């Protein structure tokens, strides 16, 4: 059978053009949706990766926070131990210094001519009192102390004759400056000068 198209050619072209535009429109929407879906899935994949990375970083942060707490605890313990060691060193220095200072005094004593009755020692000076046979013995004792590497100055506070148990003896008192105290002061001044520079 033969079909005859009775529609005018212009109308037919219009319909064809509208049909083509509609198909292009739907194809564009389909392509746009496919592109959006692809971009959305890519972004979602990146977001999931970022979340996993964030979880890992948070876990590492928790571990590092624990390590930091341990480090702070160890540093605090170290400071306490160092301060205890410094205290022990100071005690040791003081103990050996006292022994050395008294040893120097004992070494300087004129035997069987001078006897000590009291002795007081601190970091910077020493005060002592005693009895001697005469003033010459006291002078000899003072000269021996002055030659000691521990002491710098010897000052006679008083000297008077007393009758002790039926003997005329010289009762005396001395003030002695310790050389190490002077050296420590000078060292501290030098250290402070160096820090200022």
Q: Where are the alpha helices (DSSP H) in the chain?
A: 9-108, 135-146, 179-196
What is residue 4's predicted lDDT score, i.e. its pLDDT?
59
The pLDDT tens digits for 140-170 are 999 999 888 888 889 999 999 988 888 889 9
What is residue 15's predicted lDDT score, i.e. its pLDDT?
82
Reported pTM: 0.47
What is residue 29's predicted lDDT score, i.e. its pLDDT?
92
Residues 189, 197: Cα–Cα separation, whole Å: 12
Nearest to 132 by CA among 122, 123, 149, 144: 144
Mark the ranges of the chain whose per-residue pLDDT is less than 70. 1-9, 93-95, 180-197
What is residue 7's predicted lDDT score, i.e. its pLDDT?
57
What is residue 167's predicted lDDT score, i.e. its pLDDT?
85
Strand arrangement, sheet containing 151-164: 114-121, 125-132, 167-178, 151-164
Query: Cβ(161)–Cβ(131) under 8 Å?
Result: no
Can you list the domains of the chain with their CATH numbers?
Answer: 54-187 (3.30.1360.100)
């Amino acid at each position: 059978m033969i079909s005859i198209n009775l529609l005018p050619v212009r109308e037919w072209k219009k319909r064809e053009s509208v049909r083509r535009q509609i198909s292009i429109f739907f194809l564009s929407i389909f392509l746009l949706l496919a592109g959006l879906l692809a971009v959305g899935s890519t972004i979602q994949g990146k977001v999931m990766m970022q979340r996993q990375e964030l979880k890992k970083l948070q876990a590492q942060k928790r571990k590092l926070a624990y390590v930091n707490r341990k480090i702070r605890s160890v540093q605090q313990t170290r400071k306490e131990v160092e301060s205890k060691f410094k205290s022990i060193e100071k005690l040791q220095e003081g103990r050996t210094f006292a022994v050395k200072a008294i040893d120097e005094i004992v070494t300087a004593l004129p035997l069987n001519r001078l006897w000590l009755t009291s002795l007081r020692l601190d970091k910077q000076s020493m005060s002592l009192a005693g009895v001697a046979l005469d003033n010459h013995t006291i002078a000899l004792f003072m000269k021996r102390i002055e030659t000691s590497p521990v002491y710098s100055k010897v000052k006679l506070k008083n000297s008077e004759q007393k009758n002790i148990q039926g003997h005329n003896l010289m009762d005396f008192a001395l003030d002695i400056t310790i050389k190490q105290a002077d050296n420590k002061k000078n060292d501290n001044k030098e250290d402070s000068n160096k820090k200022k520079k």
